[in-house]
Structure 1
Amino acid sequence: MTDSLIIRGLSLARGGKRVLDQIDINIEPGRITAVLGPNGAGKSSLVMGIAGALPLLDGSVCLGEQSLTGMSAERIRRAGVAAVPEGHLVFAGLSVLDNLKAAGNLLSNAELANALEEVFEVFPELAQCRTQAAQTLSGGQQQMVALAHALMARPRFILVDEMSLGLAPVIVKRLEGVIELLAQNGTGILLIEQFTQVALRLADYVYVMNQGRVVLEGDPQRFNDDPQALQRAYLAHANQEDQT
């Protein structure tokens, strides 16, 4: 796993409250790693912590032999780890093309041209509306732009938070194909997903979080064979509270 993104003992707080506690996760190149869990489990905080958008209380983030711990979000992105935050975040007033150019502002002219060509190959829909303002796009198109933002960094790993949130099933299916294509081309994917069916269909490995901890992990087949295992993991904290 020398080329993997390795998270060990990751803990962080938000608003003075500890929201992640000793998280251990491996994200391997060319594989899709899904993280499931109820609302408030800390999944988005995990993405932000790995990406350098939130400071860590403890733990480490390493890309192979390179430590990313304590680096700024920009340096982590340069190192090859790009995040796609929840909410279809785009530069609303800019055109699709200018959104992508802004995301690739650290690239040379030649690299920028190549990155744009690669992105438009992945998302030909965006090539067709490249001069259109991002704020006029549909939610699905905006999520494509958000994913394209990350791809402009030509990352080795992408952290995708709630890819399918608020999107029509046909768009979700389209984005599933993109995620699978990226993994087939060697990119490691961390996928935070609200729909368990989508996650289990795509993932090579699954972690389940509850109350800031990993409470269960395994191959997707484990959860397909025992559907109640996931429900028990989701309800674990509630049951503990009932017993106090």
Structure 2
Amino acid sequence: MIGFIGGGNMAEALIKGIRGTASKDIYVSEPNEQRRLYLKTTYGVDTTGNNMELAASSDIIVIAVKPQVISALADEFSGTDLSKKTIVSIAAGVSISNLRQAFRTETVIRVMPNTPALVLKGMSVISAAEGISPETIDKIDAIFSSIGEILHLPEAHMDAVTAVSGSGPAFISFFVQGMIEGGIALGLDGQTASALAIQTLAGTSELLASHSPEAIIKMVSSPGGTTVAGLKVMQDRDAAGLIADVLRAAAIRSAELNIKLKGQ
């Protein structure tokens, strides 16, 4: 049984993905009654408002709550033996060592998924505590493969991962928003500018699956042409350096947010 503590957007994305695979045994603990009803009627999963009840019935417990809630959650489980459970946390900023201490179990896996998981096109980076069996890792891989691509990396890379793929959808959307606004400034109506920018993003994303960014830039650029004129503005204003600074700021903030749980 896979149990989710928290029934928000990311939990829903995972439920949707898992329901499309062979695994059907899903249990969700969610305090909001309306949200429980929605998940039960939409996906046919069992729901509860009791975290202890969920933990007792689940082999894998996915912690899908805000990082600030985890200390209270750890307090709730203070008298519960979770040593035979696999704890999977998708909460940003909570380290494996802190999770191990908080829930008194060695079997902890930390995962950073991202928002495109909502359309089953996510990127999830998995970091497992030492000593976890290959069989357990395979089960976690299957869960997160159901919402997109997965990658295994040491936990030391999680701040960089958070910057690139965790925050990345917002940064990419900011750029697309700028293209839309730029198109409007050039005389296009909003609907047309939006359609052009979004489809260009979607098509380029497909191209990037088989071509490097450099190759696509070369494909689109003709000597003395329009693309070269636009790229020159980017180069003159060091757009690549700006992007690097954006990612650096996000990674630094991720490190600052490394949440220390109560009693640690």
Relative to the length of structure 2, the TM-score reads 0.35
* Structure number, greater radius of gyration: 2
Relative to the length of structure 1, the TM-score reads 0.37
Higher relative contact order (CA 8 A, sep 6+): 1
- Name whichever structure is richer in strand by fraction: 1
